[in-house]
Amino acid sequence: MLTYILRRILYSIPVLIATSWFVSITGDPLGRIRANPNITREQYHAIEHSKRLDRPVVVRYGYWIRDAITKKFGTTLFGQRKIWPDLKRVMGHTVQFILSAIIISVIFGIAIGVYSALRQYSLFDYTATTLSFIGFATPVFWLALMMQVLMVQIFLKWNVRIFYTSGLSSPVNAGHGFHFFIDRVQHLALPVMALCALSIATYSRYMRASMLEVLNSDYVRTARAKGLLERRVIMKHAFRNALIPLVTVVALDFGALFAGAIVTETIFTLDGMGFYFINALEASDPYPVMAWLMVVATMVILFNLIADILYGVFDPRIDRSVHDPTLAVAPPGSDVSVQPSLPADPSELTYQYGLEVAARSQWAYARRRFMRHRLALGSLVLLLGI
């Protein structure tokens, strides 16, 4: 698995370079200055030379790569403001916002999907299906605006403030402690609900379809035929295997959540990465946009890498196919035999096979625990670094 992770990381480097390159060759940073009638041609060329925009595109991109590595993305094109301190500040807000949306979406999506599959064609199933299609068809920006209008009407009619419609926190509750936590929840509740609507609808439908497929499989029918409790059949045999397609959907949806965060943070004026991205676009400043894109692409790649690791956690067969060299198949035409020598006594064969299966299971379990601990340690180091 370590080799697989390193290979995926190496594959992601060209992706990061390509995305930043395409951003660097688009746009016109000096378009507003060129359109200003009060700027002479000599002044325009002086500004262009001072910003190194008169150099070839490849040279400018090389300058940006150097600044990104040695100076933490350098400074903005206008104002010479350092990019990384501002980006690090808004990154913490957006990560908190998106992780809250993912956790809530996964919990509600799994619960609704599993219960709909267990109560197929019931009133709850039809209601969940209808609400899911409504969630698919509802734009995020419209839902966010309607939530704002609803909260304002409630405040004007009953003078009750349930949730805040803008900002991250109130000035009177700035700091730490329980009051700060409650205030932050009241500010993030509406944006998180607006961002969760589509994700809950998507996850619940995928979970329902996956759960129905697993419940109709042969090994689930065999487990029921053995007389196992229905709760054990659902939780031990069906639920865990049904989570594998959902892991893929959540990993692919991580990038879409960043796109939704841009709209949501702009509507609710949250000081996050989406709001930072919009301000950089309005200023026609390519360097903050490129830094933002590199950070988002890195997060998406990291999240997909975590999803690949979770495949082996939920299904040990996937983990064993990556780790265990004994499952490798000899190439066609090869004289190498991978079949072990069989004992004459069938009982001895059964005993040896049982020992081998037990040893492999214990080794796979220990390996999965080690990977989980290493993943948790890596996440902690990443958070401390941020």
pLDDT tens, residue by residue, 48-65: 888 788 888 888 888 888
- Is 90 within 8 Å of 83 (Cβ atoms)? no
Which of 109-127 are b and which e, b meaning 16 or more Cβ less than 10 Å from the residue's Cβ? bbebbbbbbbeeeeeebee
Q: What is the pLDDT of residue 202?
A: 93
Q: What is the pLDDT of residue 351?
A: 43
Q: Which residue has the higher pLDDT, 281 or 314?
A: 281
pLDDT at 366 over 70: no
pLDDT band at 201 (very low <50, low <70, confident <90, very high): very high
Contacts of 55 (CB under 8 A, 6+ apart): 63
Q: What is the pLDDT of residue 287?
A: 83
Structure tokens that stand for 125 in this block? 């199933």
Distance, CA of 173 to CA of 365 (rounded, Å):
46
What is the residue-averaged pLDDT of the chain? 78
Q: Which residue has the higher pLDDT, 324 or 153?
A: 153
pLDDT band at 367 (very low <50, low <70, confident <90, very high): low
pLDDT > 90: percent of the chain: 18
Q: What is the tens place of the pLDDT at every residue in 173-200?
A: 666 677 888 888 888 999 999 999 999 9
- Is 207 within 8 Å of 246 (Cβ atoms)? yes
Phi and psi, residue 309, nearest 5°: -70, -35
List alpha helices for the chain, DSSP H: 2-24, 31-35, 41-50, 57-70, 83-118, 123-137, 140-158, 178-215, 218-225, 230-232, 239-267, 273-282, 286-314, 316-323, 346-385
- Is 39 within 8 Å of 33 (Cβ atoms)? yes
pLDDT at 4 over 50: yes
Could you state, in order of their start, the residue ranges of all structural domains in the chain?
85-331, 343-386
Residue reference for tokens 């390159």: 21
pLDDT at 332 over 50: no
Q: What is the pLDDT of residue 364?
A: 52
Q: What is the pLDDT of residue 1?
A: 66
Q: What is the pLDDT of residue 24?
A: 76
Helix (H, G, I), strand (E, B), or coil: what is residue 82?
strand
Q: Which of 263, 245, 244 is nearest to 101 (CA)?
A: 263
Distance, CA of 244 to CA of 369 (rounded, Å):
18
Q: What is the pLDDT of residue 330?
A: 40
pLDDT at 206 over 90: yes
Overall average pLDDT of the 295-309 stretch: 84
Distance, CA of 75 to CA of 55 (rounded, Å):
18
- Is 238 within 8 Å of 265 (Cβ atoms)? no
Angle (CA) 186-153-276 rounded to 5° is 50
Q: What is the pLDDT of residue 318?
A: 62
Angle, helix 57-70 to helix 286-314, in steps of 10 degrees: 60
The CATH H-level (homologous superfamily) assignment of domain 85-331 is MetI-like (1.10.3720.10)
- Among 53-62, 305-314, 315-324, 342-351, the range with the most confident prediction by mean pLDDT is 53-62
Angle (CA) 175-378-17 rounded to 5° is 95
Structure tokens that stand for 318 in this block? 């996937």
Q: What is the pLDDT of residue 205?
A: 95
Q: What is the tens place of the pLDDT at every residue in 74-105?
A: 888 777 788 889 898 899 889 889 999 999 99
The contacts found for 20-23 with CB under 8 angstroms, 24 or more apart, are 20/61, 20/64, 20/290, 20/293, 20/294, 21/61, 23/286, 23/289, 23/290, 23/293
Which segment of 233-237, 300-304, 306-310, 366-370 scores lowest on mean pLDDT? Answer: 366-370
Contacts of 172 (CB under 8 A, 6+ apart): none
Residues in the chain: 386
Region of 333 on the Ramachandran plot (φ > 0 left; ψ -120 to 50 alpha; else beta): left
Q: What is the pLDDT of residue 203?
A: 95
